[in-house]
Amino acid sequence: MDANEIRRLSEGFNQVGAREHNERLIMSAIQRHGEMPGTDIAKWTGLSPQTVSNILRKLETEGFLLRGMPKRGRVGKPSVPMALDPDGALSFGLKIGRRSADLAVMNLHGQILGESKITYRYPMPEEIFGYLANGIKEMSRSLTDRQRQRLCGIGIAAPSEIWSWSDVLDAPNDFKVWRDIDFSVEVSRISGLPLFTENDATAACRAEHFFGRGREFADYAYFFVGSFIGGGVVLNNSVMAGARGNAGAFGSLRVMQSDGREVPLMEAASLYLLEAEIVRAGGDRAALWKEPQDWCAFEPLLEPWIAHSAHALAHAARSVASVLDFEVLLIDGAFPPSVRARLVAQVRAEIEALDMRGVTVPRPEEAAVGGNARVVGAAAAPIYAQYFFQ
């Protein structure tokens, strides 16, 4: 692009575009607020009752909505609530992590209909795509004929530039083969379903936005503590992916250590640090990633990790708040809920001790989706990209 070129504004809607916009608006309103009659939908969306009625009829005919039982009010005809048909759209989601991979099939309500998990020292393409192919085949068998017909895509959530972490993962040189992997080519050998890819932390943020506490807030910052910490940004009720898909890359924020050194947040508040301490103490690193999670054996190492991570997160929160005036800071991670609660409480205490002149740091709060947020977000990507506002 020429440096002096003036960028175009967003294009206006033609008749078809306006109809698709309004369909997404109505689907998003029902997803966010639950089943509603047309009169309430018209109030929430600002559309005319006639427009809402026509769109509801179309979406019901196409299999996305279900008509509820009429509810009688004081005056006039009974109202008929409309709800999302859980089998209106389904999708597969694959989370590729640095220590584990998760696969799930999800419906329009965000319900997981089938899931599986594998762990490894480091991921390699042949293993990952073999796992995806076998998993899709197995999970498809458990679906009804209609559910299989309503599958709308495959979502993959993976860390950005996963090949650049070979040293930390103690992976061999051929781990850098990921640099040359084309996800669309690999997935096309497995399935004809459309593919949607996303940064893993953004996918986790998307899961929280649609199915967790994200519906309580219009603007917030989100941190997900996995092997490496990442984040997401929500503005005006929309998850921001960014022009290059890397919005909310909070892991690269510089934070102050207790000894006065500055390091990237990922080097101060990531689970690989706890994993390294477990190995040094002679423990089983694989136990950190197993389900169901039981971290009681790690308690002597957990407390210092929480303190160290909370200190770094407080500094990161101050930096984030200096850029955008968020309502809240949501924190989640690949750890048990009890650990999340302790971490959030410690972050609050650390923030109280910082110099906050000129900035108002949003209150840290616990997120709600939990450790599987990345695979839920991956599975949500095909559905929400095609039928909802994101």
Q: Which domains, and CATH codes, for the chain?
A: 15-84 (1.10.10.10), 90-204+375-387 (3.30.420.40), 213-368 (3.30.420.40)
What is the DSSP secondary structure assignment for residue 79, as one 8-state letter? B
Tokens matching residue 302: 């957990």
Q: Facing residues of 365 across strands? A: 330
Q: What local confidence, expressed as pLDDT, does residue 196 receive?
A: 97
Does residue 380 carry a pLDDT above 80?
A: yes
* 332 vs 259 pLDDT, higher one: 332
Tokens matching residue 274: 């706890």
Q: How many CB atoms lie within 10 A of CB 190?
A: 18
Q: Could you give the C-alpha distances from 350 to 307, 313, 345, 387, in angstroms and in order?
A: 9, 9, 9, 41
Q: What local confidence, expressed as pLDDT, does residue 324 receive?
A: 92
SS3 334: coil
How many residues in total does the chain contain? 390
Quick one: average pLDDT of 158-167? 82
Q: Which helix (H) or strand (E) holds 203?
A: helix 200-211
Q: Predicted confidence band at 172 (pLDDT cuts at 50, 70, 90)?
A: confident
Tokens matching residue 148: 């299989």
What is the DSSP secondary structure assignment for residue 158, as one 8-state letter? E
Q: What local confidence, expressed as pLDDT, does residue 4 receive?
A: 63
* Pairing, β 90-96 against β 151-158: parallel
Q: Give the position of tokens 């990442």.
A: 230
Tokens matching residue 162: 């996963």
Task: Point out the least confidently predicted range of 6-15, 139-148, 357-366.
Answer: 6-15
Q: What local confidence, expressed as pLDDT, does residue 144 receive?
A: 98
* Pairing, β 195-199 against β 151-158: parallel
Q: Could you give the C-alpha distances from 37 to 62, 74, 188, 389, in angstroms and in order?
A: 18, 15, 41, 20
Q: What is the pLDDT of residues 64-103, one digit of tens each?
A: 999 988 877 656 677 899 999 999 999 999 999 988 999 9
Tokens matching residue 240: 């921001």
Portion of the chain with pLDDT greater than 90, in percent: 78
Q: What local confidence, expressed as pLDDT, does residue 386 receive?
A: 95
Q: What local confidence, expressed as pLDDT, does residue 258 receive?
A: 81
Task: Point out the least confidently predicted range of 1-5, 105-109, 146-150, 346-350.
Answer: 1-5
Quick one: average pLDDT of 278-284? 94
Cα–Cα distance measured from residue 49 to residue 57, given in angstroms and rounded to the nearest whole number: 12
Q: What local confidence, expressed as pLDDT, does residue 308 receive?
A: 96
Q: What is the pLDDT of residues 32-70, one digit of tens each?
A: 999 999 999 999 999 999 999 999 999 999 999 999 888
Q: What is the pLDDT of residues 202-234, one digit of tens each?
A: 999 999 999 999 989 999 999 999 999 999 999
Does residue 3 carry a pLDDT above 60?
A: no
pTM for this model (two decimals): 0.91
Per-position DSSP letters for 212-269, written without gaps between them: SGGGG-SSEEEEEESSSEEEEEEETTEEE--TTS-TT-GGG-EEE-TTS-EEEGGGTS
Q: What local confidence, expressed as pLDDT, does residue 291 receive?
A: 84
